[in-house]
Amino acid sequence: MPDITVRTGSMTFENPFVIASGPPGTNRQMIAKAFKEGWGGVVAKTVSLECDKVNNVAPRYAKLKSREKGEVIGFQNIELISDRPIEIWEEEFRQLKAEFPEKMLIASIMEEYEEWRWREITQRCDAAGVDGFELNLSCPHGLPERGMGGAMGQNTEMVENVCRWASSSTSKPVWAKMTPNITDIRVPAAAAIRGGASGISAINTILSVTGVDLKTLRPYPTVEGYSLPGGYSCQAVRPIALRMVSELGRSLPREVTISGMGGVECSSDAIQFILLGSHTVQVCTAAMLQGFGMVKELIAGLEKFMEEHGFATLDDFRGHSLQYLTTHKDLVERQVQARRERAGQSARDNEWDGDKITRQSEALTSNTDTPASAKP
């Protein structure tokens, strides 16, 4: 049986599958359910010091469905962070760690750009017993209006400072969650590591407008006739998430933990994130659409894949596929070389092979199609 344990810093996940911050980790009862179903860890819904500043609307989701079968391929939300008081969260973190000591509980935290705020929220969650932290520097809607979330994640100086404030307030691992709404994700990720983060989570949702109702002419999700661009998730974002995770996998030092996410619905999706460098794989929307029980297929499918390839541990194949991502120039050169080899052409004198001399001579001849009648 392959070993699917993930050990990273002081955290040990019994499997790499982690509930991403969002509705599936929105209170103690939901998180307990996730643990009971078999998830290795949960990143709780993002918490801040002042929940009374958080005012959610309803409805706040919009689905993009496929034209043929109507399955959900994209999911937009305009949900904010937790509207529950930090005091309640502290109590629930304590209860959860007492009930599930072996499971990894990660606090997702977000604050305004003031050092004391980040220090206080980190220290309070630390004292409540969480195993690690994820800094939400990436929520794309609502909170950027207060200079939080994605607004901070797009500013490298802020990313570096926030990571420094949080990571120097705890001895536990601190992951910085990146926004995809940026040109080059490697830049804020490098800033986060300079600031002391030990891991990078990617990606948060992509700014989107899911559609416009052709009867009412109002964009979705429609609240009192109005809307705003929100965060896009689910399978439609997976190729973008895989690309961004691969950029992190190729650019970050090996000791940095990568927690990949975006559109994971089944084990084959999750395995691709590991092949491109992820240590853990997070899931939010699919857990909302399929339920927490989906983790059973994630585990079984991962173990089957590892058995088929003879991999004993996740380290045996983590990042394996990164070596096959290269430049376009290199692809062209490889193709020229492959064509030459297929044609049996020799570019260098020592490539001549006695058994292939006639084929190689022919392959090096340029006018092989000259009609016989044209010969003297």
Ligand X SMILES: Cc1cc2nc3c(=O)[nH]c(=O)nc-3n(C[C@H](O)[C@H](O)[C@H](O)COP(=O)(O)O)c2cc1C
Q: Does residue 136 bind ligand X (CB under 6 A)?
A: yes
- In the bound state with ligand X, the residue whose beta carbon lies nearer, of 219 and 260, is 260
Q: Does residue 278 bind ligand X (CB under 6 A)?
A: no
- In the bound state with ligand X, the residue whose beta carbon lies nearer, of 244 and 252, is 244
**Where does this chain touch ligand X (CB under 6 A) — which range of 91-99, 229-237, 267-275, 302-310?**
229-237
Looking from the CA of 26 toward its CB, the CA atoms found within 13 Å total 12
Q: Does residue 306 bind ligand X (CB under 6 A)?
A: no
Residues in the chain: 376
- Least distance from ligand X to the Cβ atom of residue 175, Å: 10
Q: Is 191 helix (H, G, I), strand (E, B) or coil?
A: helix
Out of 285, 294, 302, 360, name the contact with ligand X by CB under 6 A: 285
Cα of 1 vs its chain's centroid, Å: 27
Q: Does residue 280 bind ligand X (CB under 6 A)?
A: no
- Least distance from ligand X to the Cβ atom of residue 20, Å: 3
Out of 264, 271, 298, 306, name the contact with ligand X by CB under 6 A: 264
Angle at 305 between CA 315 and CA 199, to 5 degrees: 35
Out of 109, 248, 283, 302, name the contact with ligand X by CB under 6 A: 283
- Least distance from ligand X to the Cβ atom of residue 6, Å: 18
- In the bound state with ligand X, the residue whose beta carbon lies nearer, of 181 and 205, is 205
List the structure tokens of 28. 């103690």
Residue 297, number of CB atoms within 10 A of its CB: 15
Active site annotation includes 139: yes
Q: Does residue 81 bind ligand X (CB under 6 A)?
A: yes
Q: Does residue 234 bind ligand X (CB under 6 A)?
A: yes
List the structure tokens of 257. 């933990």
Looking from the CA of 141 toward its CB, the CA atoms found within 13 Å total 22
List the structure tokens of 83. 């509207």
Q: Does residue 79 bind ligand X (CB under 6 A)?
A: yes
**Where does this chain touch ligand X (CB under 6 A) — which range of 49-57, 153-161, 166-174, 256-264?**
256-264
- In the bound state with ligand X, the residue whose beta carbon lies nearer, of 39 and 311, is 39
Rounded distance, CA 30 to CA 226, Å?
Answer: 31
Partners of 42 in the β-ladder: 19, 105
- Least distance from ligand X to the Cβ atom of residue 204, Å: 4
CB neighbours of 359 closer than 8 A, spacing ≥ 6? 344
Residue with tokens 């509207």: 83
- In the bound state with ligand X, the residue whose beta carbon lies nearer, of 33 and 340, is 33
Residue 357, number of CB atoms within 10 A of its CB: 11
- Least distance from ligand X to the Cβ atom of residue 310, Å: 29
Q: How far is CA 263 from CA 22, 211, 221, 307, 375, in A?
A: 14, 19, 20, 25, 64
Q: Does residue 298 bind ligand X (CB under 6 A)?
A: no
Asked if residues 271 and 117 have their Cβ atoms less than 8 Å apart, the reply is: no
Helix, strand, coil proportions of the chain in percent (round to 5)? 45, 15, 40
- In the bound state with ligand X, the residue whose beta carbon lies nearer, of 279 and 346, is 279
Out of 208, 233, 257, 259, name the contact with ligand X by CB under 6 A: 233
Q: Does residue 23 bind ligand X (CB under 6 A)?
A: yes
Rounded distance, CA 249 to CA 242, Å?
Answer: 10
> What value does the CA radius of gyration of the chain take, rounded to a whole number of Å?
25
**Where does this chain touch ligand X (CB under 6 A) — which range of 156-164, 255-263, 319-327, 363-371?**
255-263
- In the bound state with ligand X, the residue whose beta carbon lies nearer, of 4 and 286, is 286
Q: Does residue 177 bind ligand X (CB under 6 A)?
A: yes
Pairing relationship of beta strands 72-77 and 61-65 according to DSSP bridges: antiparallel
Q: Which of 51, 139, 234, 284 is catalytic?
A: 139
Catalytic residue ranges: 139
Give residues in contact with ligand X (CB under 6 A).
20-23, 45-46, 75, 77, 79, 81, 108, 136, 139, 177, 204-205, 233-234, 237, 261-264, 283-286
